[in-house]
Chain A
């Protein structure tokens, strides 16, 4: 005990002398060093406190021991087992100094529940999925429609529950992980690592993520302004373009917001870089990844506090897309592969009225995307077959207006296949365009919850079922850390 006291006294004296020299050192040091020294000083002060506490405890114990030695009465000084459960005197604390669960990442739970009805026996999603020229339409290209993303059953649906985790790994990296738990699947929507302090203006992202192309591609379903995604996305990418790969973005130090991004992606998208080798091993050979490369540019001039304007262009090229088209009996003749590319542009204008809880806020946005697939018969096709070039496009325009505090009214027009052409060799065929019109009313009790009612009318010229109507009622909650209000 005496030795420990001596050590403590010595250390305390050392800290005192270091601390007294600190102000002078800080005054002489440069900016960064001064801040570091200041942090050091605070640490030393804390250490001084700890040591002083220990010293005081030891002094007290010494005094008690002295009293014990000189006591005149017999019998125990204290109850035999004051701590309750300590059968043995282990001579020291058995506890552990631990931060416990304090290193947990930020967590959010986002349930998305929907009621759905339509007037085409629940087949509206199949109609959308197989729209002329995009999915399993007349030309039977690509994997057939079936259960795509965002498909709902008539009645009640737990569309998904999103679990989001994020946090800093170390001074250099952040990790974001979003897992969607659906009715019968668990899907890693996004799991990526992003640099914290790379070169100023540069950010590197590695993992599985929503591509930065377009405006709404990077939004999760709970960030959409409608229950369902805009039609061009469903038609061209089969939903959100989510891929595993690398993304580099650069925000140059210029007065106007300019974001440049390039991505090298594995290319697993069914509609752009489908690899059919697994389904038809004899026919196709897998092209090694990365197979899909994209680039995007966003520009946003500063137009004051009340307004925000952003325009963007995106481009993507898949170096290998494989499809089996036409007849089934002699499949080799119909196996085609080649390249696909797309170009898109996106525009957003937002007006932020100064009125409470979103009343009077207005957002107008629109996007256009153009896609071309240039496919040739596989090399060892038995007979000479013509090449297949298909060209399609899509666009949407939407308006969201804050009709009252906490209430928004939204309208959207989608059109796909305005350009809708298939050229097989010298023979070109044109297909009709498909349209969808949507209206939605949403009530947002707080920024963490939303109830939305939406009506869709669709006109998809296919197999007689040209027109359909859909109704959605959606409940969306966000439980956990405060989500960001991203542009």
Chain B
């Protein structure tokens, strides 16, 4: 007991001599979902910069100079991973020349590396569209997986700021509990839902979590815009059945509207990403919105 106290005081004195006592961990999150998690776990102990705005497709961003400025100053980079950001993040990291956040360093954190992914082991063949052979990277639509990523993130933040280790762990637990609390109700709500047609494979984790079947995709192949023949095939296959059509903010609405007219199904456009300043509860409300939409409930 005495020893721990002495150590704590010593550390405090040493820290005070070198860096400001309440130095924030400077975190750069690639997407607003990851930023939400950092905010939820890190609280006031972290400062957050988000690289990708929520209204743009994170597959197709450009490595802008301002990203490099943020990464240059970062203590920790929190990415979605599984090659979602492969088009721009490696270039941004390379341009930032910050040794702390290189892959393999304590300052690099990829959510996908902390959990198991679905749809792994697909053939790495781009004739099948913009495939992700390492697995579907849109796990941020699964609140349970996000809670698990949150626990891993708490451990990492704790390693970077040991004085607040327990605080981070407690916040991660609180988030996981909040998820669990609503998860049961969400699953009940979704029970018996007919199914969804998605634009892209971006809500598959949510569908799996809720036990709702994914009946088809507006895209003929990942990353390829819908064609008339593909949409006709979808209509032929699904006519006479029930379901809802979900697509997100940055997807064009023509395909979903056509399918909706032909099938007489409801179609809903929702944001895939939470807003920039979202907290844990914003995220849970966001998932709730998707749950309601997937079950065909009126908004």
Chain B residues positioned under 8 Å from A197 (CB to CB): 99, 102
Query: Chain A, 425-464, contact with B by CB distance < 8 Å: what is the 0/1 string?
Result: 0000000000000000000001110000000000000000
Which of chain B's residues has its CB closest to A306's CB?
A: B53
Judge whether A34 is part of the interface by a CB distance below 8 angstroms: yes
Q: A255–B73 Cα gap in the complex (Å)?
A: 9
Q: Are B61 and A485 in contact (CB under 8 A)?
A: yes
Chain B residues positioned under 8 Å from A306 (CB to CB): 53
Chain A residues positioned under 8 Å from B66 (CB to CB): 257, 300, 302, 308
Q: Are B62 and A487 in contact (CB under 8 A)?
A: yes
Q: Are B97 and A251 in contact (CB under 8 A)?
A: yes
Q: A352–B51 Cα gap in the complex (Å)?
A: 14
Which of chain A's residues has its CB closest to B83's CB?
A: A482
Chain B residues positioned under 8 Å from A486 (CB to CB): 62-63, 91
Q: Contacts A198-B97, A446-B126, A446-B224; is A484 near B87 (CB within 8 Å)?
A: yes
Q: Are A405 and B223 in contact (CB under 8 A)?
A: no
Q: Are A354 and B62 in contact (CB under 8 A)?
A: no
Q: Contacts A447-B87, A487-B64; is A253 near B97 (CB within 8 Å)?
A: no
Query: Chain A, 242-256, contact with B by CB distance < 8 Å: what is the 0/1 string?
Result: 000000010101111
Chain A residues positioned under 8 Å from B12 (CB to CB): none
Q: Contacts A354-B55, A484-B90, A485-B62; is A257 near B252 (CB within 8 Å)?
A: no
Q: A484–B66 Cα gap in the complex (Å)?
A: 16
Chain A residues positioned under 8 Å from B106 (CB to CB): 31-32, 35
Chain B residues positioned under 8 Å from A448 (CB to CB): 126
Please provide the chain A residues from 454 to 487 with a CB less than 8 Å away from any CB of chain B in the complex. 482-487
Query: Chain B, 101-144, contact with A by CB distance < 8 Å: what is the 0/1 string?
Result: 01000100000000000000000001000100000000000000
> How many positions in chain A have a CB within 8 Å of any CB in the partner chain?
45
Chain B residues positioned under 8 Å from A34 (CB to CB): 159, 162
Q: A32–B105 Cα gap in the complex (Å)?
A: 9
Q: Are B97 and A255 in contact (CB under 8 A)?
A: no
Judge whether A87 is part of the interface by a CB distance below 8 angstroms: no
Please provide the chain A residues from 197 to 217 with a CB less than 8 Å away from any CB of chain B in the complex. 197-198, 200-203
State the majority secondary structure of interface residues on B: loop
State the majority secondary structure of interface residues on A: loop
Q: Are B63 and A484 in contact (CB under 8 A)?
A: yes
Judge whether A95 is part of the interface by a CB distance below 8 angstroms: no
Q: Are B60 and A485 in contact (CB under 8 A)?
A: yes
Q: Are B162 and A302 in contact (CB under 8 A)?
A: no
Q: Contacts A255-B69, A352-B62, A446-B126; is A484 near B88 (CB within 8 Å)?
A: yes
Of A201, A298, A352, A406, the residue contacting B65 (CB under 8 A) is A298
Please provide the chain A residues from 322 to 352 with a CB less than 8 Å away from any CB of chain B in the complex. 350, 352
Chain A residues positioned under 8 Å from B225 (CB to CB): 356-357, 405-406
Chain A residues positioned under 8 Å from B73 (CB to CB): 253
Query: Chain B, 210-236, contact with A by CB distance < 8 Å: what is the 0/1 string?
Result: 000000000000011100000000000
Judge whether A355 is part of the interface by a CB distance below 8 angstroms: yes
Judge whether A103 is part of the interface by a CB distance below 8 angstroms: no
Judge whether B57 is part of the interface by a CB distance below 8 angstroms: yes
Q: Are A201 and B56 in contact (CB under 8 A)?
A: no
Judge whether B28 is part of the interface by a CB distance below 8 angstroms: no
List 18 other contacts, CB 8 Å, given A30-B162, A308-B62. Answer: A31-B159, A197-B99, A200-B98, A200-B99, A253-B73, A255-B69, A257-B65, A257-B66, A257-B68, A305-B53, A308-B64, A354-B56, A354-B249, A356-B252, A405-B225, A484-B63, A484-B91, A485-B87
Chain A residues in the interface with B (C-beta under 8 A): 30-32, 34-35, 196-198, 200-203, 249, 251, 253-257, 259, 298, 300, 302, 305-306, 308, 310, 350, 352, 354-358, 405-406, 446-448, 482-487
**29 A–B contacts from the bound complex (CB under 8 Å):** A31-B106, A32-B106, A197-B102, A200-B97, A201-B72, A251-B72, A251-B96, A254-B69, A255-B69, A256-B69, A300-B64, A305-B53, A306-B53, A308-B62, A308-B64, A352-B61, A354-B53, A355-B252, A356-B57, A357-B225, A447-B87, A482-B83, A482-B86, A483-B87, A484-B87, A484-B88, A485-B62, A485-B87, A487-B62
Closest 9 CB pairs of A and B: A197-B99, A300-B65, A484-B91, A257-B65, A305-B53, A302-B66, A354-B55, A482-B86, A308-B64
Chain B residues in the interface with A (C-beta under 8 A): 52-53, 55-57, 60-66, 68-69, 72-73, 83, 86-88, 90-91, 95-100, 102, 106, 126, 130, 159-160, 162, 223-225, 249-252
